[in-house]
Amino acid sequence: MAKVLLNDCNPDASLTLTNMLKDNAEIIVEPFSEQRELTDFNLVLLYSDSTDDQQILRKIKNLHFRTKFRNIPIILLKDKSELFSDQPYFNFGVSEFMALDEPQPIFNQILQGYLNPGRQPLERELIYLTPFIESTKTVLSKMASMEAEFRGVYFQNSLRILGDVSGVIGLSGTTEGTVIITFLWNLARQVIANIMEVKENEINAEMIHDGVGEIINMISGSAKKSLLEASYDFQLSIPTIIVGWGHEVGHPDNATIAVLTFDVGDQAFVLHISLTQK
């Protein structure tokens, strides 16, 4: 059964949502907490009647941080649709914002849609994803003496990446695509400090940018041999770095974007991969 977290919901909102979801989901109603582990939830709903957008955005970002890049949609709820401003909720990690005054059948239908489990990777997709999973684990282990645990894959259409720093490699040739590794700042700093065998406080932004670029270069380069054997032929671009929460990275038209999540201890990072064959 799916598990849904209702955060900061008032009694009326809790009752309405519980009645909608109780038949196919376990509902947990709690005040917002920065410590709450979220990775075993399928959906998080955050209610707010506040007009303080900065406070809401901080909560959304914190929720996203605790999903550890898993496929856990965060829905922002308000009482009335006119209470939503043009603030960049999406850029901070919200999948949807909804008002409780919307007609219940539509509201219910949208929520049920978010509870549907995403599709599993197809066999042909696993052929190109597996080398990246293996090379990611190898690079972290050999270069940073850190064990990266693969946690799963899902697919997304959005180009938005909710992380602090991404290393991007373009693939060109008879296979085209993009491979992106994204870290939150703290884990990026730890990884680069381990690679350079220095203390974390000796790591500056330039080292992180350089190191994250080199990591995605190594991951893509290491995966290339297995991919060539599977008839995915491409050249690697020089890596580029993008910094800033909610950045967007382009992928080839009509490409499926696979999202691979990894844990390192109690932190997480993510790989976005799109490959198309001409």
Residues in touch with another protein (CB under 8 A): 138-139, 142-143, 192, 195-197, 206-207, 210-211, 213-214, 217-218, 220-225, 228, 236, 238
C-beta closer to another protein: residue 15 or 198: 198
C-beta closer to another protein: residue 97 or 232: 232
* Distance separating alpha carbons of residues 71 and 94, to the nearest angstrom: 12
Q: Is residue 245 within 8 Å of residue 222, measured between CB atoms?
A: no
Query: In angstroms, what CA-CA distances link 146 with 137, 143, 187, 205?
Result: 9, 8, 11, 21
Query: What token pair was written down for 193?
Result: 């400090």
* Distance separating alpha carbons of residues 80 and 74, to the nearest angstrom: 18
Q: Is residue 89 within 8 Å of residue 46, measured between CB atoms?
A: no
Identify the helix (H) or strand (E) that includes residue 151.
strand 149-156
Q: Is the dihedral of CA 155, 267, 186, 202 positive or negative?
A: negative
Q: How many residues does the chain have?
A: 278
C-beta closer to another protein: residue 99 or 207: 207
C-beta closer to another protein: residue 29 or 241: 241
| Cα angle 213-214-219, degrees, rounded to a multiple of 5 | 100
Q: Closest distance between another protein and the C-beta of residue 150, in Å?
A: 17
Rounded to a whole number of angstroms, the CA Rg of the chain reads 20
The four Cα atoms 185, 43, 251, 91 give a dihedral, to 10 degrees, of -60
* Distance separating alpha carbons of residues 132 and 186, to the nearest angstrom: 23
Q: Closest distance between another protein and the C-beta of residue 248, in Å?
A: 24
C-beta closer to another protein: residue 222 or 267: 222
C-beta closer to another protein: residue 5 or 193: 193
Q: Closest distance between another protein and the C-beta of residue 271, in Å?
A: 15
Query: What token pair was written down for 222?
Result: 């290491």
Q: Closest distance between another protein and the C-beta of residue 117, in Å?
A: 34
Q: Closest distance between another protein and the C-beta of residue 276, in Å?
A: 20
* Distance separating alpha carbons of residues 9 and 13, to the nearest angstrom: 6
C-beta closer to another protein: residue 77 or 212: 212
